[in-house]
């Protein structure tokens, strides 16, 4: 595997959550730096030897527009 995608969202209570596409990997962090570190730790736990060469973070942001 060359690349692994994570969907990253801001949590309503603060911090961030990330889940891998196609794998049962989920992690959280209070800051983006902590989230990045936790993602690497989660990948180390999930994959034995064949780890992805690249981790792509896709930030998802909900925006509400009021239409009168």
pLDDT digits (tens, 9 = 90+) for 28-50: 999 999 999 999 999 999 998 88
Give the per-residue pLDDT at 31: 97
Mean pLDDT, to the nearest integer, of 20-32?
96
pTM reported for the whole predicted model? 0.85
**More confident call, 2 vs 38:** 38
Kindly list the domain boundaries of the chain, sorted by start residue. 3-60
CA torsion angle 51 53 56 57 (round to 10): 50
Q: What is the DSSP letter of 54?
A: E
CATH T-level topology, domain 3-60:
TTHA1013/TTHA0281-like (3.30.2390)
pLDDT digits (tens, 9 = 90+) for 3-17: 999 999 999 889 999
């Amino acid at each position: 595997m060359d690349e692994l995608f994570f969907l990253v969202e801001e949590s309503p209570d603060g911090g961030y959550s990330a889940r891998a596409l196609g794998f049962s990997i989920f992690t959280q962090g209070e800051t983006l730096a902590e989230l990045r570190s936790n993602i690497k730790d989660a990948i180390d736990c999930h994959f034995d030897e064949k780890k992805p060469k690249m981790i792509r973070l896709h930030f998802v942001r909900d925006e509400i527009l009021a239409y009168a």
